[in-house]
Amino acid sequence: MSKHRSHHMGLLLRRDRQGFTVLELLVVVLIIGILATIAITVLLSFKEKAGVCTLTSDLKSAYKVSVLYHTDHLNGTVTFDILRAYGFRPSKNVDLNVVDGGAESINMTATHPNVTGVYEIDEDGYVSEQ
């Protein structure tokens, strides 16, 4: 091993001074980077799950309001304006759309910026991802 190369290795691994070696600092930075990546991934997962819960809740609430409307208007067709008139208010950032407002064929969809995909509720009140 050359004298020049051993001098560089001595800088990396030298312990006769106080403080940390460059190698130790690099390992710490690498570990912090890995932990930050894991934390960000988990946070994004929680945001999506929260968005799905919000979509599901809004779809179920809109469905219940549509059932109330059809109780009063057997042959009526639900629209978003009718849902609002009956007291339905979508959550923030939820885009709800009435695809079919008939009593026997009610179908609504909803999207949210934190959720990939579109969720729907059918005439039986079942929520699913399209």
Q: What predicted TM-score, i.e. pTM, was given to this entire model?
A: 0.70
In a domain, 68, yes or no: yes
Does any domain span residue 88? Answer: yes
Which pLDDT score, from 0 to 100, does residue 47 have?
A: 85
pLDDT classification of 10: cutoffs 50, 70, 90: low
Q: Comparing C-alpha atoms, which of 68, 66, 86 is closest to residue 77?
A: 66
Asked whether residue 7 is domain-assigned, the answer is no
Task: Over range 103-125, report the average pLDDT.
Answer: 93
- Contact between 113 and 76 under an 8 Å Cβ cutoff? The reply is no
Q: Is residue 6 in a domain?
A: no
pLDDT in tens, 11-57: 555 555 678 899 999 999 999 999 999 988 888 778 889 999 999 99
Question: For position 87, what pLDDT does the model report?
Answer: 94
Cβ–Cβ < 8 Å for 55, 110: yes
Query: Which pLDDT tens digit goes with each residue over 67-109?
Result: 999 999 989 999 999 999 999 999 999 999 999 999 889 999 9
CA angle 54, 59, 66 (to 5 degrees): 150
């950032």: which residue's tokens? Answer: 93
Task: Establish if 15 belongs to a structural domain.
Answer: no
* Residue 42 forms part of a structural domain: yes
Into how many domains does the chain fold? Answer: 1
Q: Tell me, yes or no, whether 61 lies in a domain.
A: yes
pLDDT at 5 over 70: no
Alpha carbon distance 30, 24 (integer Å): 10
Range of the domain at 44: 20-129
pLDDT of 8 higher than 90: no
* pLDDT confidence tier of residue 6, bands split at 50, 70 and 90: low
Tell whether 89 is covered by a domain. yes
